[in-house]
Structure 1
């Protein structure tokens, strides 16, 4: 099948490459000529493990191409995926900027000349957006024969290809049996593998994405609250989380305490869900609480670091391992580091940091930090070392070497990567999140 993908950002590029891997002929379109030239040269504008090889293979085999011409992309296409950005209008207000979606709709309408086409909204959008896109296209091109589909993505940064090729489920929202048939053809490899396909209405499909992300955010905030309670009563969150997660009704995923959730989805989608609920006269108290807990957790981490340094970070050198909101991505959006590190710097701390993928972008946002090439350079002369992001290369550090390089053997592990007893035996004062701090002096 010929498929057009409008937008070559994270979702569009991953989706287009994976659809090509399924055997479809995919043309990815973007207005940014520089980005299209970049892709045509074989370069990938984002970091996602395995994406460069996937794109190169499908370009070489003639199934994937790139263009700035929407008419070219849509020519003979039976399906058009809309995967443009929907950023918040203003940080923290929950309103999504739908201007790119609506602009894409108008331009798609002008180029709909075939007998029948399915327009598929892949972007994360508020409930009712697909209906509005449908109205815009129908108004702009009354002769267009098309159906609208909502097909939300559930791609985790760092594991996006696996999530697309082997998903937990595929959600397809529409009011047309003909559209459902086309979507089954698009996702035929997944049907053959027995992947659950949820077919529902447009509005339900749109809400599913927000509900799923909000539930995971609630789960993260819950375990962070339990970690804080563990510190207060002298309990240990690690066995607590393990025991709770072994309950089949709950599961262990996302029960890992830390400095709070970040990234492009959870912060934006939880606020958007609250805004949708408010606009429809409903409430979501659990999600409200999760958002509040997440904001407070970052403040707690600043206090944890400050207390570990004796009550003040002024004049102290602090090494930081990791900047991105999670490992295996270069994404810094809403990363806890962007809240925690400036607060420390403002109070007089000298920060020397390392991240495998995030330093180039971080340097634009936090120029006050010193960016170094490896973890051991970061540890040199440091009064404390903070593990902020659990990259694999930080999981087996040479502890003896670290201790010898540091001015003070203080290790603040905001991801609970290391075991307190092991760190104590290595000569460190170890501070985790919800761990038995009193036992490790």
Structure 2
């Protein structure tokens, strides 16, 4: 009996520790920083960089629409997509800091791991799995490996789940699927650890990820961070897009709540019925108004079609909103009819509707734009759909035409708290002053 006491005590302590870790793991307030916020770019440079990232992002998503799960051929034929918001976290025991991108369009957490076959440069030390006491590789017969195989190639060597994630430009990242403890810095609270999170341990990468350590996926799939929280929901509040001093906030689990202001609206979250490998957050856009005028956009414009294209997703990793035709042309013409300032020939990168900035340096009086979702209206003030480029003397429509998919970008989401509730399959939103949340 005496020999059993230490074992029983250890089991009891482990049980008690789990009781404390699990609830805390679903109540986190994590700071987010826009990827360019720490660099001294001009407004024009910031807009060009955001437009370029947005273009790459949409190209990646549209390429994926043309890709089927039955045609891996070693790599997934998608173009590398850019990301927007950086979150600080740590991995392993003892914890190693990471600078990773929050991505509501990704269904995987992954980071670079030593020992490396090939690794790209990153701002933090590369995590060494051999030095962590909580690292554990996953086998090929595990549910996590099966989930991963739904959207990227996996194979078995030495009974481990290995994956390959490739891009159309020839870059790729390869590694093994494993579990590890992730620790998140929390605002005005001690760091919080989440044990046994499945992640991609990438040790062979030929790709430029713009100085980040990896990706934290927040999509609807089984391998995103949301799947490892006791409360399957999250929210974020994005500060004014070009305010370098403002820190946005990511709320995870039970801390993901909207303020009781009475202004919150809710719309259903949808899935793409024709693409089981898509984990994006679809919402039904039924129409667009400017002021009190409902624009003449055919109702079928934003519907998901039988080949899996179409529809509208809300995405944290795309800067400007993208609209398919004829919606984009209709919105563009409505803005032209509204603004009496001289138009500028040519384009400002991807932004193709610009006007001469008034001498006041401010946006002219313009009515709100309203996005009519199923059961909810999202009102965008002029600052959320027009953008001022002072160095170039321009104001531009912060929307871009796309070919096959409409995307509600993060520029339109600024100063709005947005709650994703996977348990109820709803998206809720309300206006907020995000820098004081």
Instruction: Please indicate, yes or no, whether the TM-score normalized by the shorter chain is above 0.5.
Output: no
User: Rg larger in 1 or in 2?
Assistant: 1
Name the one with the larger strand percent.
2
Name the one with the larger helix percent.
1
TM-score where L is the length of structure 1: 0.28
TM-score where L is the length of structure 2: 0.28
Q: Name the structure, 1 or 2, with higher relative contact order (CA <8 Å, separation 6+).
A: 2
